[in-house]
Chain A
Amino acid sequence: MKLSKGERVFEVFNVTVMILFAAICLYPFLYVIALSFNEGKDAMRGGIYLFPRVFTLENYTKLFEDKRLAGSFLISVFRTVTGASLGMLVNALFAFALSKNDLPFRKILNWLIVIPMYFGGGIIPYFLVCKSLHLTNNVLVYVIPWLATPFYIMLLRISMKDLPDSLEESAQLDGAGYGTVFFRIVLPLCLPALFTVILLGGITHWNDWLDGSIMVSNSRLWPMQTLLLNILQGADMMSFFKGKNLSTAGGMVRKIEITPESLKMAMLVLTVVPIFMIYPLAQQYFIRGIMVGSVKG
């Protein structure tokens, strides 16, 4: 295909802009990673762009010495795994029932899931409800209120409606109940939608920091995001440094090369790494979910 001169100029311009934009999206992460592997004192001089100048693992080893970090990691993993998988089950069960066109009271039930998508009581009544249920300062607050999500119910219902009725009917002729139909036929046939819900739910759980900030005052029960936010805002830095300023190794006083900044960078990297690991695998499911949601919305 022949290109005119103007088109060729545009082509070069376009590709350059695209590469530039992709670089702007990616570079900040690379910068933070470089800083997290650099000695803190040295990093304060500036001039680190892409690679660490004085390489060290000390920022990370210091972080790992902190019991609270390990605790927050476990809490994040706990809420992500149980929240996403149990949520998928609760939402899929609900969606399966709603996918029956002749289900009595279907209209009311439909409204019941649509209304919360557009209106809510707000954060203060929500907090008071959780408090009265003794969910504040309780890790269950990260999981239980999230189990039913209207958006995921709708997403799952769409793919369940696409299933041919004949499959279910023939199974029922063979004496299968709805339990068997649901677990043996419906779920396996909706796997892509289930993956979408699990992955979107998982990423929401991993990224959430608000619950920890408002529902939990005991910092030992915080997920990583909440802990990170408090560290970033400087409110929680001192506790990280307590008793660590002078670490002695074999009687020798080690030079302090760690700064609050370098610890923050390492913590940032640890919090974002899980997302980066699953992102390439999960990308297509995310986009699918966003698309299906937008068609409905």
Chain B
Amino acid sequence: MAKPLISGETGRLLRKYRMLYLFMLPGLAILLTFAYLPMGGLVMVFQQYDPVSGFFGSEWVGFANFRRVFSSPVFSRALRNTIVISGLKLLIGFPMPILFSLMLNELRMQRFKKTIQTIVYIPNFVSWVIVAGVWYSLLSSEGVVNQVLMNLGVVEEAILFMQRKDLFYPIIIFTDLWKTLGYSTIFYMAAIATIPLEHYEAAMIDGAGRFRQAIHITLPVLSGTIALLFIMAVGGLLNAGFDQLWTMGNLAVRDIADILDTAVLRTLTSGSVNDLSTGAALGMFKSVVGLVLFFLTNWVSQRLVHESLV
């Protein structure tokens, strides 16, 4: 049904709310400038961008930048690393918070439980710069990990943890878990808090032990949250952890640490103007594929979570 653009009612509301549009002006200006203008700036992926001519004057080159990206060894390496790191994080990092929440839920002393929660949330609130600095120090040759290993006689000489390619992924997975585990339990603990105590009491009268209560009462309540978080994690598969890899990576492990996001940023920090369009094209590839992945998994989640909630 076609409506006139501004009916009498809309006009009345516009007048009534005219002050509110003024309220929105600052936020609107910021969003248009810093969120939407860069989206428009993506025209540069079809140009050989040069800063002097800008977005309007640069030469059009069609899909040449994409061809350059896809044929570059850096791209295939970064794509592989991104998927491998994300996959490992999903495989190992995803089940842990569920297990941890179930265990946390079994703690009887509320005071103790609260204290544990408060402590394990802490690493989430410090930056990856701090996390990288702290763990580089712990894992350094005179750091505490090597000291303990040597004192126990496990190793003769200090292990150069951060220089070893075979240890880099385990360290990345572990530090990611260290930083985010507590944070991820917040969602599960909130779901658990909705379970009425009577359910547990009824199960207890029926003779169910605590293990069976956790499996048959707590876990089913979590299934919706689990499905949702899992699907969101799959949707974010191309986000392998930019902050972490940029702050913790180093030249010795560049081959296996370089992900799509870090490759994009390096085209910017390398200072070579020629790379800007290629870098933007690489970035655009990542966000477009990421968006498709997100909508795909979101669609699946609507069906799946809907089913699992019934």
Contact = CB atoms under 8 A, between A and B. Distances in A.
Interface of A: 4, 6-7, 10-11, 14-15, 17-19, 21-22, 24-26, 28-29, 31-32, 35, 43-49, 90-91, 93-94, 96-98, 100, 102-104, 109, 112-113, 115-116, 118-133, 144-145, 147-148, 150, 153, 177-179, 182, 203, 206-210, 213-214, 225, 228-229, 232-233, 261, 264-265, 268, 271-272, 275-276, 279-280, 283, 286-287, 290-291, 294, 297
A283 B122 CA distance: 9
Given A7-B209, A124-B283, A264 B38 contact: no
B121 interface: yes
Given A178-B20, A283-B121, A148 B30 contact: yes
A123 B283 contact: yes
Interface residues of B, number: 89
Contacts of A177: 19
A29 B134 contact: yes
Nearest to B143: A46
A290 B190 CA distance: 11
Nearest 5 A-B pairs (CB), nearest first? A121-B38, A125-B41, A122-B283, A207-B127, A94-B27
15 contacts: A7-B209, A18-B116, A29-B134, A48-B144, A93-B24, A102-B13, A103-B20, A116-B31, A120-B287, A121-B38, A125-B280, A261-B140, A287-B121, A287-B186, A290-B183
B294 A213 contact: no
Nearest to A47: B147
Contact of A100 (B17, B44, B130): B17
A208 B246 CA distance: 13
Contacts of A261: 137, 140
B88 interface: no
Given A46-B147, A90-B26, A25 B44 contact: no
Given A121-B42, A123-B265, A209 B119 contact: no
B106 to A, nearest CB: 6
A127 B137 CA distance: 33
B169 interface: no
B123 interface: yes
B209 A122 contact: no
B39 interface: yes
B138 interface: yes
Contacts of A280: 118
B92 interface: no
A234 B17 CA distance: 56
B284 A122 contact: yes
Interface centre among A148, A228, A283 (most CB of B within 10 A): A148
Interface string B6-18: 0000100110010
A279 B125 contact: yes
**Chain A interface mostly helix, strand, loop or mixed?**
helix
Contacts of B104: 18
A115 B39 CA distance: 11
A261 B186 CA distance: 35
Interface in B135-194: 135-138, 140, 142-144, 146-147, 178, 182-183, 186-187, 190
B190 A291 contact: yes
B291 interface: yes
A28 B36 CA distance: 41
A78 B225 CA distance: 39
